[in-house]
Amino acid sequence: MVSRPHGGRLVLRVLEGRRRERLLSEAREMPSLEVGLERAIDAEDIARGAFSPLEGFMVEDEYLSVLDRMRLPNDLPWTIPVILDASKEELRGVSVGDDLLLKYNGRPLAIVTVEDVYGWDKRVHAEKVFKTRDPGHPGVEATYRRKDLLVGGRLELIDSPPNPLEKYTLWPLETRILFKERGWRRVVAFQTRNVPHLGHEYVQKAALTFTDGLLVQPLSGWKKKGDYRDEVIVEAYKALIEHYYPKNVVVLSVLRMNMFYAGPREAVHHAIVRKNFGATHFIVGRDHAGVGDYYGPYEAWEIFKQFPDLGITPLFVREAFYCRKCGGMVNEKICPHGPEHRVKISGTRIREMLRRGERPPEYMMRPEVAEVVLGHGNPFIE
């Protein structure tokens, strides 16, 4: 059987049927707070169990515990604060005990039962979560832009924020039932924000060799200029899976989740989330969720030593390269040959080639995958 949800129980807080209708009509009288897409995404990730055992945005006790100890007050590992920020003006007239309606694009999104309103020190937050106070770090910069108060409390989702990739989106309850139906006991999860090249394929297949199934989860949501578009990543993976993987060993499904570039802390967070999806193993890349040179190359691996009680096994797979002497894809651990024999599979180089409309060589990228990108016309975020 697959992993138990983090904390023991899968959280499901999506309003349905009569109760949804009743609360929706009561919501007209509630104070409301308009949130952006990032908080709307958090709300859905909470309500659909991706962030189990969280049932809402963190109250101060939880926030400080996660910040200082990387654990919830009950000692369960949790490394990334999940917080709802608001300004003093927006919270005028809102008190502890009130129900607060969250709106996204003016439409009802979720109801938060306010349990706590508290201030936070963004510089301390940055230091602890990102290990830097440098606003040049994208996560720090985003932190400094957030508002001055935090609202904690359990939430219930009224409607999901619109999702262009809905038909490729599966939530923990769904993947768990799917794995059960397929009879998978050991499931390895792979997170990506890229079109797959042979290095990725090698790593996935290495992990698949000793597990029953592979969950490929492109992360959608916030993107920066020059990133592959979400639909390009999905189509590219479909092509790869169709042509190069056996039937019924891969589940491809998109996860909409915010990305903070918090390096090691975020690597653990990503593992916890995949545990909730039912994965027993999670592939952690070198410099996973890193940016620039804020984190050491192996920090995202080292941090896992502090969490023997995580409940999902991290797999630290070394970067793959092509070795002419070995005659195939290999990694540091299994190839004894010198750099003169090795060809690095660089995502950056492949991206440049594709941008120029060139087809990367076949030892770098499968032709069917390259075809998807080249045939798209506009594969990158502008």
Partner 1 sequence: MSGDKVSIEISKDLYEKAKKFIEENGGFKSVEELVEFLLEEAIAAETGEGVAISPEDEEKVKERLRSLGYL
Residues marked as catalytic: 193-194
Q: Which does 323 bind (CB under 5 to 8 A by kind): partner 1, Zn ion, none?
A: Zn ion
β-strand pairing of 84-86 with 149-157? antiparallel
- DSSP designation for 251: E
Whole-number minimum distance, CB 176 to partner 1, in Å?
Answer: 6
Is 279 in contact with 172 (CB distance < 8 Å)?
no
First to last CA, the chain: 43
Size of the site for partner 1 (CB under 8 A): 27
Of residues 2, 66, 365, 373, which one binds partner 1 by CB under 8 A? Answer: 2
CA–CA separation, 67 and 70 (whole Å): 6
CB of 131 to partner 1, least distance (A): 20
- Give the residue at shortest CB distance from Zn ion: 323
Binding mask 8-47 for partner 1 (x = CB under 8 A): xxx-x-----------------------------------
Element (H, E) at 68: helix 60-69
From Zn ion, partner 1, none, interface partner of 337 (C-beta below 5 to 8 A by class): Zn ion
Per the DSSP assignment, residues forming a β-bridge with 300 are none
Instruction: Identify which of residues 63 and 277 has a Cβ nearer to partner 1 in the complex.
Output: 277
The DSSP bridge pattern shows strands 213-220 and 149-157 to be: unpaired
Q: Does 164 bind partner 1 (CB under 8 A)?
A: no
Q: Near partner 1 by CB under 8 A, which window of 1-9, 105-113, 126-134, 229-237?
A: 1-9
- Phi then psi for residue 181, to 5 deg, are -60, -35
> Among residues 40, 7, 36, 75, which one has the least CA distance to residue 273?
7
Residue 92 CB neighbours (<10 A) = 8
> Does 173 interact with partner 1 (rule: CB under 8 A)?
yes
Which residues make up the interface to Zn ion (CB under 5 A)? Answer: 323, 325-326, 335, 337
- What letter would DSSP give residue 2? -
User: 234 is in the binding site of which of partner 1, Zn ion, none (Cβ under 5 to 8 A by kind)?
Assistant: none
Strand locations in 285-341 (E): 313-316, 320-323, 328-331
| Least distance from partner 1 to the Cβ atom of residue 345, Å | 30
- Residues forming contacts to partner 1 in the complex (CB under 8 A) are 1-5, 8-10, 12, 75, 77, 167, 170, 173-174, 176-178, 180-181, 251, 305-309, 311
